[in-house]
Amino acid sequence: MEFTKRFLRAKSPCADGFRWFSRNVQDGAGYQQALDTLVAAGRVDDACWLLDQFGPTNEVLTLDTLDAEALVFAGTLVVRGAIAADRLRVGRALRAGAGLRTDGNLGVGEDLRVEGALACGGALKVGGNVRCAWGIEVQGAFEGGGDARAAWDLLCHGPLTLAGHALVGQDLLVQADTACGKGLRVGGQIDCAGNLRAGHGILAGGSITATGHIEAGWGIRAAHDIAAQGAIKAGESLVAEGLIRAGAGYGIYAGLNVQRDAWEASAQVRARQRPTELLSGCWLA
């Protein structure tokens, strides 16, 4: 793909960006060459905008390591070792053979795979699946278009939104709302400073706590307590080895997505003691 001023103008760029591009990028420059020129001049936002407008390529860049202020690459990036960057944007897949750290935002168009720890100092946006051999820490929002897997902890200081499943080997700690389009399975505790929702089930090897509502389309099960400051809603069964507690004035509901005749089998409620706020489901002492 070659760029000309007329080609770029058709995308309605901002006036300042278009003037700079006209003065610094020659007509006929290659797509990746244009991205590199913008990044080298410190215009990373403009490079990301250009990638949003014209999309990814099938080019593959393979490196031993990456240590840079910023990189915007339209294709697939494969790094055999560690990655360190202020900002990083990749049009297709990104693979790191060791750890990955960014001081700012990290964007990946397709799958992200990291064979060490992943530390993102800004927002993390991935179009496909995320797979991390160690833990994940994100300072901003984490938005994923597929599944997310972390062998250790997953810590997110902003909202966590996934289209697929979340599988976390140890603890899941989110300082905002958490929403999974499918299931949520965590080896340790789940602690959410906001609403916690999953389209399928929620399973935790520790406690499940949220400062908002807890809701699952299927069942919810915890090895310790399930506690919310809002309502607790399960489409099927609701089971805790400890206590189940909702917030003041809110209820606890099981079996919302099954017929009442099937509650005894598919909407069981189990806990150390019967919740006083239980409004639906079959309590089994």
Whether 94 maps to a domain, the answer reads: no
Query: What is the domain range of residue 17?
Result: 1-53
pLDDT digit of tens for each residue in the chain (285 aa)?
A: 556 666 666 666 666 766 667 666 666 668 899 899 999 999 999 999 989 988 999 999 999 999 999 999 999 999 999 999 999 999 999 999 999 999 999 999 999 999 999 999 999 999 999 999 999 999 999 999 999 999 999 999 999 999 999 999 999 999 999 999 999 999 999 999 999 999 999 999 999 999 999 999 999 999 999 999 999 999 999 999 999 999 999 999 999 999 999 999 999 999 999 999 999 999 997
Whether 194 maps to a domain, the answer reads: yes
Look-up of token digits 């809002």: 230
Whether 268 maps to a domain, the answer reads: yes
Whether 34 maps to a domain, the answer reads: yes
- Rounded to 5°, angle at Cα 110 from 107 and 113: 80
Distance CA 219, CA 207 (A): 15
Q: How many domains does the chain have?
A: 2
pTM of the predicted model as reported, rounded to 2 decimal places: 0.93
Tell me the residue type at 75. Answer: G
Do residues 91 and 57 lie in contact, with contact meaning Cβ atoms separated by under 8 Å? yes
Whether 279 maps to a domain, the answer reads: yes
Whether 150 maps to a domain, the answer reads: no
